[in-house]
Structure 1
Amino acid sequence: MVTMMVGEVANFVAYVFAPAVLVTPLGALSIIVSAVLAHFMLEERLQKLGVLGCISCIVGSIVIVIHAPQEHSPSSVEEIWNLATQPAFLVYSAATLSIVLVLVLHFEPRHGHNNIMVYLGICSLMGSLTVVSIKAIGIAIKLTLEGISQITYPQTWLFVTVAVVCVSTQLNYLNKALDTFNTAIVSPIYYVMFTTLTIVASAIMFKDWSGQSVSSIASELCGFITVISGTLLLHTAREQEMTPGAASISWYISRGSADTLKNVEDDHLVWLLSSDSPDYVK
């Protein structure tokens, strides 16, 4: 838990010094570290498909880092507020909140228990607003530590309020998704949706891709797709590892004893229904 908190603090600092289009996709590296440590420390076998997923994540991350845009650091919270109130981002925020309200009020009571996209849609949409709010808060803290106090600006506290509301909503519905659906399904879908919407929100608000060439933007998108593919491969490998014997169950009905099944391979799950006894014998 301590290392998780340290990691989140480091992630928070990363949003201050680097654009979200760089920081968010690199979150997939934590999946690689978890898979490698689990292989050595927990003796969880990393299959060939998992190794391929790790390699894909690393290659995609390198491509993103090489072609990442330069960070433009705002000089005050007021400048960030001007970015947040530009028409394009206001339209995105209004559309996001409208979709979230429809999902919460209409779809969640009726379809939340059988459609994973309802919960994850709410989490991802609110998560995109969370990231831009946290980035604004981080920049305000950075400027304050440099001697340019941002505490007196009401915009600073507005960003804090938005971040608290968004994080609370995001965690609430993410927990509901994890309680209702398989983690192996929730994790990759949530990562893809959250990362995509975060990149879109950051690009609209902070104009991360402004001044970049078309080839650089295309390279970043290709790297992002590669990271997504690697993440899906890793989770597919883990899901297969969780159910390795699902197709190796055999049923036998015999009128003899268990000795008649002595040649059955040990890795099969065998049930014997004997005519002499109603009991099932493994």
Structure 2
Amino acid sequence: MLLGELGVFASYAFAPLSLIVPLGAVSVIASAIIGIIFIKEKWKPKDFLRRYVLSFVGCGLAIVGTYLLVTFAPNSHEKMTGENITKHLVSWPFLLYMLVEIILFCWLLYFYKEKNANNIVVILLLVALLGSMTVVTVKAVAGMLVLSIQGHLQLDYPIFYVMCVCMVATAVYQATFLSQASQMYDSSLIASVGYILSTTIAITAGAIFYLDFIGEDVLHICMFALGCLIAFVGVFLITRNRKKAVPFEPYISMDAMPDEGAG
């Protein structure tokens, strides 16, 4: 897992954010296939159509969607220099986007904390909003590190450390909300809904911050959107057909049991 995450981190330095984020569908496909091969779940014949056929259809759709994503994804990719990142950070489209995101995040957080709105969409929207900032900052940090390794030092720019702090902070709070969601909802539901929401908002943030789709024609944008939609459906079919985990039942000691002889 550590090697995989390091690979994902490095990939942000070499490709547009709008291409890398949706490719998370590949991990869902891989986990479904590996799980069938190695876990070897027992299944009844009547469950075959409902669970396994739909899962294979989901894998097929996710593969088709991934192919369209790779084929029609933005090709432009600028160097992550301190000057470029600072320019994007203070651009009015991104500042407007940040204002809308902060207002939406505070509104959702208010309902979640004060109104006890524990709906999965509310929680995963909070995760997705934080995640969009995580991927934006990860790409900046990874790009600046790669340029520094190549001999173009970027670590003397204050924006590098600002991005590092934002990356760590948003990742930590994102994990906190995910942990809370996992205590209330099934992991397969979290995986499908979280992937769809996080991917959509992250692509939007990347398109605004890094201008990924500038210069792309309408056909490429539409086919890219279609690839995302097909991948979303595929991931949904894969995750919804997984077995639900057995609820955890805490151990109760004999000392904690009520005394039957008590009046």
Q: TM-score range by the shorter chain?
A: 0.7 to 0.9
Q: Which amino acid aligns with 2:57?
A: L
Distance 1:78 1:18 in 2: 19
- Counterpart of 1:212 in 2: which secondary structure? coil
Structure in which a larger fraction of residues adopt strand: 1
CA offsets 1:30-55 (integer angstroms, 9 cap, x no match): 11111111111111367000000000
| Aligned equivalent of 2:230, options 217, 226, 244 | 226
Q: How many residues are paired up? A: 237
1:51 is matched with: 56
Indicate the residue corresponding to 1:189 in structure 2.
Answer: 193
Specify every segment of 5 or more residues in structure 2 that has no aligned partner in the other structure, as ranges: 44-50, 246-263
Structure 1: state its 5+ residue gaps: 244-282
Aligned amino acid, residue 158 of structure 2: P
Counterpart for residue 88 of structure 2: 83
What corresponds to 2:219 in structure 1? 215
Structure 2 Cα separation of the partners of residues 222 and 98 of structure 1: 29
CA contact (8 A) 2:147 2:154 kept: yes
Distance in 1 of aligned mates of 2:182 and 2:69: 30
Task: Give the partner amino acid of 1:19.
Answer: P
Within the candidate set 109, 118, 122, 1:118 is matched to: 122
In structure 2, do the counterparts of structure 1 residues 101 and 237 end up closer, same or farther at CA, with 3 Å as the change threshold?
same
Q: 1:160 aligns with which of 153, 164, 180?
A: 164
Aligned positions of 1:1-282 closer than 5 A: 4-44=1-41, 47-74=52-79, 76-113=81-118, 115-238=119-242, 241-242=243-244
* Alignment partners' CA distance in 1, 2:80 and 2:39: 47
Measure the CA separation in 2 of the matches of 1:209 and 1:198: 14
1:75 to partner: Cα distance: 5.3
Q: In 1, Cα distance between the equivalents of 2:98 and 2:140?
A: 15
Question: Counterpart amino acid of 1:28?
Answer: A
CA–CA separation in structure 2 for the residues paired with 1:168 and 1:148: 30
Is contact 2:192-2:239 (8 Å) kept? yes
Inter-CA distance 107–13: structure 2 relative to 1 (3 Å threshold): same
Change over 3 Å in CA distance of 1:75–1:162 after alignment to 2: closer
Q: Structure 1 residue 71: deviation in Å?
A: 3.2
Amino acid at match of 2:203: I
Which structure is richer in relative contact order (CA contacts within 8 A, separation 6 or more)?
A: 2
Provide the aligned C-alpha RMSD in A: 1.5
Displacement, 1:141?
0.1
Q: Indicate if the aligned counterparts of 1:89 and 1:205 stay in contact, CA closer than 8 A.
A: yes
Asked if the contact 1:67–1:219 (Cα under 8 Å) also holds between the matched residues in 2, the reply is yes
Q: Distance in 2 between matches of 1:51 and 1:66?
A: 23
**Greater C-alpha Rg:** 1
Alpha-carbon distance between aligned partners in 2 of 1:82 and 1:101, rounded to the nearest angstrom:
26
